[in-house]
C-alpha cells in the first residue's frame, strides 16, 4: 500500500460508542483461539511494521470520499483519480454544489460512478445541513450517510480521527480470516464481531491493513504461497493447501 498523507495514532474511543460492542473475555480466561490470534498479530507486526492507510488524503472529508470511491475499485486507481478531483472540489461546499454530470466525469474510472457521484454530493449536502460541514466522529452518524457502511466508517474513524471503532472487513480480510479459522462466517458484520473478541482494540484497524498487505504479497487469492508464509504454524489451512486439499 502507498503511504497515506495523513494518519493518526490517537487513543481509541470505546467500541460501544461506535455502534458495535466488543465482547469482553472472562477475567483470567484466554482461549486458544485468542492466543493464536495474538500470535498472528505479532507476526504481522513483524512482517509489516508500518501499516498506513493506502489512500491519499489530507483531511477526513477527503478520506471519506476516497474510501467511498474505493468500493469495487483498487486503492491505486482511486489515488490516480483524487488529485484532480480534490483540486476541482477543494471543500465540502464545492462538493455539495457540484454539477452531477461533471462530478461523474471525475470519478468515472472508479466504476459505479453514477451512484458514487450522487452519494458524494448528497453526503456533502447533509454534512452542511446536519453536521456544520464537518465529517462526524461516530459510527452511528457516519453510517447514516448515503453509501457509507461500516467498512467505510471504520476507515474514516481510524485514519481520520484515530478512533478504533471496529475492524474493517474487505475481501482480503474476509478470505484470510477464514483461512486462519478465526471465524466461520462469510458475513462481514459477523467476521468483524469475531475479530473484535480476539484482538486488542488498539490493533483493530491495523490488523486489517496488515492482512491486506499479506494478502497481496504472500497469501494471494488464487494461489496462497504457503511455502514462504511465516504464519503457517498458526494457520490450520496451510498444511491442507500444501497437500493439495481444500482448506
Alpha carbon distance, N-terminus to C-terminus of the chain: 27
Cell 462469510 sits on residue: 186
Residue 5 has pLDDT above 60, yes or no: no
CA distance 240 to 247: 6
Q: Quick one: CA dihedral 198, 200, 204, 210, positive or negative?
A: negative
Residue 188 has pLDDT above 80, yes or no: yes
Q: Which three cell numbers stand for residue 231?
A: 504464519
Q: Model pTM?
A: 0.83
CA distance 112 to 114: 6
In the chain, what are the domain boundaries? 38-51+168-242
* pLDDT of res. 28: 56
Which residue from 6, 59, 49, 20 is spatially nearest to 154, judged by alpha carbons? 20
CA distances from 189 to 19, 97, 155, 181 (A): 12, 34, 15, 16
- Cα 227 off chain centre by: 28
* 224 within 8 A of 179, measured Cβ to Cβ: yes
* pLDDT of res. 19: 41
Of the chain, the percentage scoring pLDDT greater than 70 comes to 89
Convert the pLDDT of each residue in 114-156 to its tens digit. 999 999 999 999 999 999 999 999 999 999 999 999 999 999 9
Convert the pLDDT of each residue in 40-78 to its tens digit. 999 999 999 988 899 999 999 999 999 999 999 999 999
- How would CATH label the architecture of 38-51+168-242? Orthogonal Bundle (1.10)
Amino acid at each position: 500500500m502507498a503511504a497515506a498523507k495523513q494518519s493518526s495514532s490517537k487513543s481509541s474511543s470505546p467500541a460501544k460508542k461506535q455502534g458495535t460492542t466488543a465482547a469482553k473475555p472472562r477475567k483470567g480466561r484466554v482461549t486458544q483461539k485468542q492466543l493464536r490470534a495474538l500470535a498472528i498479530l505479532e507476526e504481522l507486526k513483524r512482517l509489516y511494521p508500518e501499516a498506513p492507510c493506502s489512500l491519499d488524503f489530507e483531511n477526513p472529508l477527503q478520506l471519506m470520499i476516497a474510501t467511498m470511491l474505493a468500493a469495487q475499485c483498487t486503492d491505486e486507481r482511486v489515488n490516480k483519480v483524487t488529485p484532480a478531483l480534490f483540486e476541482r472540489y477543494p471543500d465540502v461546499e464545492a462538493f455539495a454544489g457540484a454539477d452531477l454530470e461533471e462530478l461523474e466525469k471525475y470519478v468515472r474510472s472508479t466504476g459505479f460512478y453514477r451512484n458514487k457521484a450522487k452519494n458524494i454530493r448528497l453526503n456533502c449536502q447533509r454534512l452542511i445541513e446536519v453536521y456544520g460541514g464537518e465529517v462526524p466522529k461516530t459510527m452511528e452518524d457516519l453510517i447514516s450517510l448515503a453509501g457509507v457502511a461500516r467498512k467505510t466508517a471504520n476507515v474514516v474513524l481510524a485514519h481520520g480521527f484515530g478512533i478504533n471503532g471496529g475492524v474493517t472487513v474487505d475481501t482480503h480480510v474476509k478470505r484470510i480470516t477464514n483461512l486462519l479459522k478465526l471465524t466461520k462466517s462469510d458475513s462481514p458484520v459477523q467476521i468483524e464481531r469475531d475479530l473484535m473478541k480476539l484482538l486488542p482494540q488498539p490493533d483493530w484497524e491495523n490488523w486489517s491493513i496488515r492482512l491486506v498487505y499479506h494478502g497481496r504479497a504472500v497469501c494471494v487469492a488464487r494461489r496462497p504461497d504457503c511455502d514462504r508464509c511465516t504464519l503457517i504454524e498458526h494457520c490450520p489451512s496451510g498444511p491442507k493447501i500444501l497437500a493439495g486439499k481444500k482448506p
